[in-house]
Chain A
């Protein structure tokens, strides 16, 4: 075998040119370098359920906040002549959307009975003749506003409280933790109810009560994470270089806490939406004539046997909101913390 080897001559060699070097370089990283957020976004995009929920939420946001520009009916305008009309969408002739009602076995045209003329209500009207569709949109807007406010307090109080408590340590930490422990041993709902009674029911009372109760979980998680980060080398290096505590917490702690913060934020939101609906449902939240998903469900529930659509639609919207936020939250947790699943 060895005898058959081709003799090597000087002509078989040639100098490496700049063009060849690119192909030879095995060490080159071909994938674009991604930041933490880009990488998480890439993973999130692969999660179909979470992406669908994100789209649903964006649509709901646009519908709810845009509704004041295109709403055809005033959500608070009553019209007793047109009360309890079932849903009617012109051109669709399916029971449940054609304005007919089932009365003891026969379907009757409720719109003709009420002499409604050409008027139509996509999701029907309630017991005072208010348009259910615009009321649901209004209620959704309230829920989403509550969601935004709750996330603001979560960020403003919870994160700061957690960082301060974890960073300072010692006696400050002990006192701050005692306060949290006391808050934790009172059911949130009880705190909210007490506050709302003192402040008189309404949007501002709900906001204050959410402000006081919603940040506790965030503060605990952020503190635990801060305690872990505090002893790591990069923080030590920053301290050795003489950085101030402020700058360390903004430049070094916050970016490293971002996944904990975002994930927890996504679970604060459905809780806040639930509490608003709950308080309105039992009658101490958003007061009449304003609509909230909770009050709509409470109103609809009274007529559920005969006019089921009055409870179904607000209940569906509220459930979809909660489901979407929960699934998106799960998806975010998986994408920020890939070792959690798989």
Chain B
């Protein structure tokens, strides 16, 4: 276990190193400098600003400085957004993103599990059809369309929830609903397939033959065994939530890192983009590691050997 953990953490560090290297050089290849349009500056001033940002050194020195900074959690200073340190910018914005992302994930997975298992238990009835239609619709309708519709109908027309801004639980409801759609649909689809599989297996037949009640069979045998593979889709679901949060946070003006990422992309704020890229990768790596460990703990047949297959 310790050996496995060490190996995985080594790979995570390697991944983050490669990602930060690639982003650094991509940003260096980007045409123009932050001062391209500042014709009023004298060469002396430009030189001074370059020195302030460390842009006067050769690229390899800038790279080493950058790497050393990343190790210490220092991603440089934002070109836009009032010269704040990127790490401060991210630190102050990661909270709201984690809240709506976490809520969306939990809500989506729970409702998806219920919907998917209902569909499997009542296979080929109207319940099954409804759950399939709901999951197809939610997986197909893009998050930005869904978010706008939620905002308009639940926020503006029915006035149930505030339409935008941040501050308190009520403000998180609409973004959470918008983010929950994709994990909900994916979980429901996956759960239905798994559960149909499990329900036709021998040990369910045995339980039936023993005369166990239907509820007992579904709860103790079918549900528990179909839950295990669900853990494997948590990683991809996290990616969906990250992607979704970029537009959902924008639409509901949630002060999170997704909104910041889009803003930085639109204003060419390279240090912030680089910092957020690394943060996104780190979060995803940690989620993947946790799900792998959980998978091994819950299902002892899977051995954590470190090499796939």
Binding site for B on A (CB under 8 A): 174, 177-178, 181-182, 184-190, 193-195, 197-198, 200, 224, 227, 270, 274, 277-278, 281-284, 297-298, 301, 304-305, 311, 315, 318-319, 322-323, 326-327, 330, 340-341
Contacts and interface: CB of A to CB of B under 8 A. Distances in A.
A318 B142 contact: yes
Interface stretch (B18-26, B37-45, B100-108): B18-26
Given A185-B288, A197-B30, A326 B277 contact: no
B144 A297 contact: yes
A197 B268 contact: yes
B282 to A, nearest CB: 9
B53 interface: no
A185 B15 contact: yes
B148 A304 contact: yes
Given A194-B273, A197-B268, A198-B29, A227 B309 contact: yes
Contact of A326 (B12, B26, B136, B193): B136
Contacts of B309: 224, 227
Interface residues of B, number: 46
B145 interface: yes
Nearest to A270: B140
B265 A278 contact: no
Contact of A315 (B31, B145, B193): B145
Given A197-B265, A197-B268, A311-B148, A282 B250 contact: yes
Nearest to A333: B193
Contacts of B139: 326
Interface in B22-58: 23, 26, 29-31
Nearest to A314: B145
A319 B141 contact: yes
Interface in B239-270: 239, 242-243, 246-247, 250, 261-262, 265-266, 268
Nearest to B189: A330
A194 B261 CA distance: 11
B203 interface: no
> What 10 A-B pairs come out closest when comparing CB atoms?
A322-B140, A323-B140, A315-B145, A189-B243, A319-B141, A187-B239, A185-B285, A182-B15, A185-B15, A187-B242
B4 interface: no
Contact of A322 (B12, B19, B141, B268): B141
A227 B262 CA distance: 41
B136 A323 contact: yes
Interface string B119-150: 00000000000000000110111101100100
Task: Name A's interface SS.
Answer: helix
Contacts of A327: 136
B156 A305 contact: yes
Contacts, number: 111
Contacts of B261: 193
Interface string B187-214: 0000001001000000000000000000
B164 interface: no
Contact of B145 (A181, A187, A319): A319
Contact of B280 (A187, A197, A224, A330): A187
23 contacts: A181-B15, A186-B284, A187-B242, A187-B284, A188-B243, A190-B281, A193-B261, A200-B31, A227-B309, A277-B142, A278-B247, A282-B250, A301-B148, A304-B148, A315-B142, A318-B142, A322-B141, A323-B140, A326-B140, A327-B136, A330-B136, A340-B193, A341-B196
Given A227-B309, A282-B262, A189 B142 contact: no
Contacts of B11: 178, 181
A322 B135 CA distance: 13
B82 interface: no
B190 to A, nearest CB: 13
Contact of A284 (B26, B266, B285): B266
Instruction: Give the most central of B145, B156, B266: most A CB within 10 Å.
Output: B145
A319 B284 contact: no
